[in-house]
Structure 1
Amino acid sequence: MRIVCISDTHNMHRQIEVPEGDLLIHAGDSLGVGTLEELEDLDNWFAEQPHRHKILIAGNHDWCFQDEPAEARELVRHAHYLQDSPLELEGLKFWGSPWTPVFFNWAFNRERGQAIAERWAQIPDDTDVLITHGPPAGILDRIISPTGTVRPGCDDLARKVETLALRLHVFGHIHEDHGQEQIGNCLYVNASTCTGSYKPLNPPIVIDL
């Protein structure tokens, strides 16, 4: 299966060139301010893409999925929307989850520790491909600033993924650390499309799984 990974398009999805593949994964922050109108345009864009499967999760900017969940889910007609939920495609087991540790006052935030660990505890042990909005701590989560390097990934998520036999973990959220890293049998992909300056310049990452 050829998997095309994007994330953090921030309502600039029509400005990016998406390679062909079997599955298009969007790992959250697809919207700008998180309105239903933005989501409707995103779904129309999904309909235009040639991939036979599409998966979408929410991110911390995607407010309508948190504040108007029923209306938002009804608008997603051309992708599988996952929120702490599974999906099986062509023999691969997927799990998608939007949560990130508290950062100011964004959507789908949970306090570090028990509150967010309870979300990760729901991930099934037999998951092949995990899609979360944010990264696990220490993996493609680096922000370099004038005051030093910060790694805001989730420690509780890192502990959970260590217990799983994942083949692929796709996320975004940290725009500055776009790329991929192989650790053991799992390929970790930070698919953030936008750069740290919110320009949609990072290319989609294509994986053959």
Structure 2
Amino acid sequence: MRLVCISDTHSMHRQIQVPDGDILIHSGDCLGVGSLDELEDLDNWFAEQPHPHKILIAGNHDWCFQDEPQEAQALVRHAHYLQDSSLELEGLKFWGSPWTPVFFNWAFNLERGPDLAERWARIPRDTDILITHGPPAGILDAVPTGTGSLNVGCEDLASAVETLNPRLHIFGHIHEGYGQQQIGQRRYINASTCTGSFKPLNPPIVIDL
């Protein structure tokens, strides 16, 4: 089973080279300004990809999924859209969720603490592959500051992942955190396609299970 992971393409999906695989996973910020027109183009692009299955979640830039949910979800015809929901493919159980801690005034933002913890409490205990837009605290979540870096991931998500122990946790959101980290039997993947300067230069991350 080959998973191909991308994230934070910001409507620049046609500028990236996507390798073949069994499941193409996009972990949010698929759009630029978050319009339905952008989403329709993304869905047409999904249709062109050879992967038998595609999975999409929203991110904080993907406004149409928050503001026009029925219209947006109806446009996703060539991928499985997950929003606090599950999917089983090829014997693997996936869960997808778009929420991230409040940062200015973006889509799918919730306050740290009980609001976010309630979302993570919905994740089934038998989840094999968790897909969220944002990272857990302390894992591939550092952003540069004038004096160093700052970890901005979600503490409650980190606690949930520790408890649930999925095989893979795939996310994006923090472009500078692109890469992989292995902790025990669990692998974390920040699949951000765009760099910190919003250039779609980071290659898709391929995982063979």
* TM-score, normalised by the number of residues in structure 2: 0.99
Give distance in 2, aligned partners of 1:80 and 1:161.
Answer: 23
Report the alpha carbon displacement of residue 144 of structure 1 after superposing the two structures with TM: 2.0
1:128-147 to structure 2, matched below 5 A, reads: 128-147=128-147
1:55 paired with 2:60, answer no
SS of corresponding position for 2:163: coil
Match of 1:93 in 2: 93
Partner Cα separation in structure 2 for residue 78 and residue 125 of structure 1: 28
Q: How far does the alpha carbon of each residue in 1:151-187 deviate from its partner, in whole angstroms, 9 at most, with x for none?
A: 0000010010000131000000000010001111111
Query: Comparing 140-149 with 36-45, which one deviates more in the overlay?
Result: 140-149
Q: Tell me the secondary structure at the aligned position of residue 156 of structure 1.
A: helix
CA distance in 1: counterparts of 2:26 and 2:170, whole angstroms: 9
How do 1:48-197 and structure 2 match up within 5 A?
48-197=48-197
Offset of 1:143 from its aligned partner?
A: 1.2
Cα deviation code 1:60-108 (max 9, x no counterpart): 0000000000000000000000000000001000000000000000000
Identity of aligned residues (%): 79
Gaps of 5+ in 1: none
Distance 1:169 1:25 in 2: 12
Separation (CA, whole Å) in 2 of partners of 1:77 and 1:177: 30
Amino acid at match of 1:54: K
Q: Equivalents in 2 of 1:208, 1:84: separation in Å?
A: 25
Residue 201 of structure 1 corresponds to 201
Matched AA of 1:33: V
CA RMSD of aligned residues (A): 0.5
